[in-house]
Structures are given as C-alpha cells and as structure tokens.
C-alpha cells in the first residue's frame, strides 16, 4: 500500500514464524514448564510456612495456561488445511 509514495515491505522474523512442528514443540515445552513450576512450588511448600503468595502463583499459572491455549489454537488452525503456511507467534 502506498499513499504518499512510500513503500513498505513486511518482514517476518524467522524466530517468530511457527509451523506445526514448532507449535507442538512449544506446547510440550509449556507443559513441561508448568509441571516443573508446580513441582518446585510443592518442594518449596514443604519447607516453608503457609504464608506464600497465592495471588502471584495463580497469575503465573494463568499466564502459562493462556499461552498453552494460544498454542492449541495455532495447532488447530494449522491442521485445518493450511499446514503449508506458517503462523506468527
């Protein structure tokens, strides 16, 4: 699109382009991160009194689960007949 004579070309970073394989790998990584986070919390809980910050814990888990939901949506879009195209993260 050129309004004043300026031309711009869209450039997608290779790091930000995700295909089916990368979406699946990222989903596995997020699942592992959630499991490690929960395991770490369990070990810390065993050694500390019960005055932990539940709000901070809930926010961290919510962010990770939201990212996992986004990855599931990307995977569904890629499997919906557009497997030759990539989606940006």
Q: What is the pLDDT of residues 47-88, one digit of tens each?
A: 876 666 778 888 889 999 999 999 999 999 998 865 444 555
**SS3 of residue 68 by DSSP:** helix
CA–CA gap between residue 48 and residue 42 (Å, rounded): 10
Which residue is it, tokens 């790998």? 25
pTM: 0.45
Mean pLDDT estimate for the chain: 81
pLDDT for res 47: 84
Closest CA to 86 of 10, 9, 16: 16
pLDDT for res 6: 74
What are residue 18's phi and psi, to 5 degrees? -125, 130
Closest CA to 85 of 10, 22, 8: 22
Residue 17 has pLDDT above 90, yes or no: no
CB 78 within 8 A of CB 87: yes
Tokens of 37: 């986070």
């Amino acid at each position: 699109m050129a309004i004043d004579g300026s031309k711009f070309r869209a450039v997608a970073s290779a790091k930000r382009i995700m295909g089916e394989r990368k979406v699946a790998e990222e989903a596995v990584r997020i699942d592992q991160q959630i499991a490690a986070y929960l395991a770490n919390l369990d070990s810390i809980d065993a050694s500390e009194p019960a005055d932990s910050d539940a709000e901070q814990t809930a926010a961290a888990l919510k962010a990770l689960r939201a990212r996992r939901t986004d990855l599931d949506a990307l995977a569904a879009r890629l499997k919906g007949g557009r497997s030759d195209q990539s989606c940006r993260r």
